[in-house]
Amino acid sequence: MVNISPSLLLELLQRIARVTKDYLGVLNEDSLRKNFILVYELLDEVIDFGYPQTTSTEALKSYIFNEPIMVDAGRMPPLGPAAMFMQGSKRMPGTAVTKSVVANEPGGKKREEIFVDIIEKISVTFSSSGYILTSEIDGTIQMKSYLSGNPEIRLALNEDLGIGRSGSSTHDYRSSSGGGSVVLDDCNFHESVQLDSFDIDRTLHLIPPDGEFPVMNYRMTQEFKPPFRVTALIEEAGPSRAEVLLKIRADFSANVTANTITVQMPVPSYTMRASFELEAGAVGQTTDFKEGSRRLEWNLKKIVGGSEHTLRAKLTFSQESHGNLTKEAGPVNMNFTIPMYNASKLQVRYLQISKKSKTYNPYRWVRYVTQANSYVARL
């Protein structure tokens, strides 16, 4: 009996999920049920006698013979992965992120295209007065290639990108000055990335393998402007009553819209009832008091940049609070998704694909998404 590393198991499960998604196009109960034989075949090749063999989509192509049965994208939830990238007038194809990398388009042809997603998960903690106490960004540049023949790709990032606060070693990918307008604390790259010219012009060279993979992971703790300002206040309104005021301000451009916003606030365990008052003209907002977990929940369908939203709640208690409300309530937690926005200002300057012929011009999609990892406001 041998103790297996938990991190190894988590990494293996993540890679199995990724390679399954590469083959099925979308990973949900319906696609797994329809492609049971294909998934069984994948697992049989990925793991032999209990030992992981390979999780490379490209390497598995030689051993997998079943064709995927595609699931109708219309049967997926409306706010799935594809919907979050629909922003403004330039909309992504509905099947862009739900396509299998091994299945051909109708007619037997393969659509030549490549997707690059800059996905950032931000963690921010606000004080009771709205000041930032801690802030951090965990980001990844994710690539999914549908290019035939594995052409070489050049991916150029900000020219003034700095990595590390100091130091000039090429080995740990730190800039000599560390004083660029975008400064990352650290980063790591996929094994297919060539870094010969990265220190010179911040360009990544790679031959993308089939399937979805992270080109670069990075972390940033330098000061940045958070997309939302959250303030929360709770005050006594009598011996067994209290009033809560929640305020959200969107500090980003008016042509950007955040969606699927959820704000939650734990309240004292002796809270019996809660009544809510939304601002005048509020559309697409719902409120709820979760009695089981004793928390307030505020859902907003979307928030346009530059706008401000307020919620008032009146709480009724089963006993007197004795003035300990700020200790027994909160903190406020917020979850959201903002398409076509990134807090770090990391940008893709260009995405260049080596040409096979003069007429070769595949579709290129570069998309930005910011999500909340831990967005907290203290009382």
- Alpha carbon 22 to chain centroid, angstroms: 18
Distances (CA, A) of 105 to 27, 109, 345: 19, 5, 35
Compute the 3-state secondary structure of the chain and give helix, strand, coil in percent, each to the nearest 5.
Answer: 15, 40, 45
pLDDT over 90 for what percent of the chain? 44
Residue 81: band (very low, low, confident or very high) from pLDDT cuts 50, 70, 90: very low
Cα angle at 211 between 20 and 337, to 5 degrees?
80
> Helices 36-46 and 6-24, interaxial angle, to 10°?
140
In the chain the first and final C-alpha atoms are separated, in Å, by: 50
Q: Give me 145's structure tokens.
A: 């290639």
Query: Could you give the dihedral angle defined by the CA atoms of residues 176, 178, 183 and 188, in that order, rounded to the nearest 10 degrees?
Result: 30
Pair 17, 24: CB distance under 8 Å: no
pLDDT beyond 80 at 106: no
Q: Give me 291's structure tokens.
A: 């009695």
What was the pLDDT predicted at 240? Answer: 87
Top pLDDT among 101 and 221 is at: 221
Q: Give me 19's structure tokens.
A: 């390679």
- CATH fold, domain 6-61, is Beta-Lactamase (3.30.450)
Distances (CA, A) of 31 to 78, 83, 210, 254: 16, 18, 20, 38
Top pLDDT among 205 and 67 is at: 205
Out of 3.30.2020.30, 2.60.40.1170, 3.90.230.10, 3.40.50.300, select the CATH number for domain 131-165+181-224+341-374. 2.60.40.1170
Top pLDDT among 315 and 27 is at: 315
Closest listed residue to residue 117, CA positions, set 204, 212, 207, 188: 212
Distance CA 291, CA 3 (A): 42
Residues of the chain with CATH 2.60.40.1170: 131-165+181-224+341-374, 228-339
Pair 68, 23: CB distance under 8 Å: yes
3-state secondary structure of 373: strand
Closest listed residue to residue 214, CA positions, set 192, 230, 247, 199: 192
Closest listed residue to residue 138, CA positions, set 337, 374, 376, 333: 374
Mean pLDDT is highest, among 74-78, 107-111, 368-372, for 368-372
Task: Give me the amino acid identity at 43.
Answer: L
Pair 64, 101: CB distance under 8 Å: no
Residues of the chain with CATH 3.30.450.60: 6-61
- Give the containing element (helix H, strand E) for 215: strand 211-220
pLDDT over 70 for what percent of the chain? 86
Tell me the pLDDT tens digit for each residue of 120-151: 999 999 988 778 899 999 999 999 888 888 88
Top pLDDT among 326 and 343 is at: 343
pLDDT beyond 60 at 9: yes
Q: Which residues contact 336 (CB under 8 A, 6 or more apart)?
A: 227, 228, 258, 259, 260, 261, 262, 303, 371, 372, 375
For 342-362, the DSSP string reads -TT---EEEEEE--SSTT---
Pair 252, 184: CB distance under 8 Å: no
What was the pLDDT predicted at 83? Answer: 40
Per CATH, domain 228-339 is 2.60.40.1170: yes
pLDDT beyond 70 at 95: no
* Range 47-68 average pLDDT: 87
Instruction: Report the number of secondary-structure helices (H) and strands (E) in the chain.
Output: 6, 21
What was the pLDDT predicted at 1? Answer: 58
The answer to whether the predicted template modeling score (pTM) of the entire model surpasses 0.75 is: yes
To which residue do tokens 């509905």 refer? 94
Distance CA 253, CA 368 (A): 14
**Can the peptide bond before residue 209 be classed as cis, meaning omega within 30 degrees of 0?**
no
What was the pLDDT predicted at 69? Answer: 85
What was the pLDDT predicted at 146? Answer: 84
pLDDT beyond 50 at 91: no
